[in-house]
Structure 1
């Protein structure tokens, strides 16, 4: 009887394993095709195609979308994401992809204010929309069982807990905003491809971790931290960004000569470029914090209302 049960279990798992292998094969084939097109026809491709192909960006985008959509199909309809949450996830992933792979990435290497737009998308808007879509459950459900088990390893859980501890998470969020624009560091980051890649990936990963912590609609202890702590964290990180943006706007001289070396692609002076970049550091990032704080307050309100309704139902 046990042998029959085991064979039945193996038979039920085989189609899913075969499907996963086929899906991986299709993703790799699509990536290889895109890489060949970028290498052979770089000047003939549309602007939304990669400027320089990256397997890391391609796979993270493709696998993330596939896991999310597959997880949604497996979840009960009542717990699945509604239309606007799906759109938020896909737009967020699309903004990160566009910032790293399309000709926006090329422009960001030649204009400081476009570079700041790129990091606004990578560190703020893209991760913000992904976190707002609340995709954790769907992506988790979309993962193969073996991968889920490995991700539950005690060491990984502790690392994630440390990175999303509110004080450290807020510090890292601000630190990355400050470190990469330091003129001496920024100079080498824009000229060294490895450092440039590390810069873009670091702000993206940190943005996803921070905004996922802030925009979790659930109350503590299901969420890592309370609504009040989230509200304080998202407000605290706003003021250093205002200060940095103001310093760049009112610097009075061009402190980013690396763009003279790279060659600006728009007919504006270095000081104008720097002023526009400082305003992007200052205003949109501040607005993102304000929107985040308002959403946290709304999550708290909705949770209190649901608790009141639940208590009335028990009476």
Structure 2
């Protein structure tokens, strides 16, 4: 087998960073770090020289045009639907870097059946194998987790404020439901923006920003919530939806977001119109007035199984 080198710069607590943190220690394939520094999402990073001629594996979508073969992970193609003019840079990057690397390697990884179908359509190349390696869920997210304490019922949002997350609509809905309370776990850089958004709607005393939560503490927040809000219009998977239902807490989501609908699989309320604050308000009222528990999925979300699928895909490239 070729020497396998991994871009280890995807490291953190959410999204692709979380995926990388969970997957890399579980791989059985012997690998070494590429040892690169700098921002892996910088425009010129794709052009840099690499210290190896062997197979490069990335837990994310950052492509190296000089790599002989690189196994990428396309969690989604949300960037290709970004608003103009920002979309232009992503269209260029995916056309000039990502697609050629994927076609040269002949295989690419993704994380859900929804994303698999999207990636296959985008590639338009039957010679490329798109592998749904799936995704896992920490053992901390379970139905018997101790619920977080709260004097009043609350809703939970875990994510960020990027446009496709559609957060303004649920804040508008919250303003229509007196006394409804929301806890939000956001990146530190977005906390001030969230405070401003809440204050502009008169919600300053009803929105609480969370920080510094490990998996156990986050599981308690999910378990104590009446529902988790997932208003996204686009997702590759929707890990907060999975974490929520694993604790038995239902999800309020837009029915048109295929990846979240796939994950939630009816365990919550599907809102018909993504941008209708009144419809979201009605779903919130129902969740608060008629709280319920949902049955977690019996199986199918296992980080060990995801790592095995990646190992098998790497082996197929030997």
Shared topology, TM-score over 0.5? no
State the TM-score, normalized to the length of structure 2: 0.22
In terms of fraction of residues, the more strand-rich structure is: 2
User: Which structure is larger by alpha-carbon Rg, 1 or 2?
Assistant: 1
Task: Answer 1 or 2: which has greater helix percent.
Answer: 1
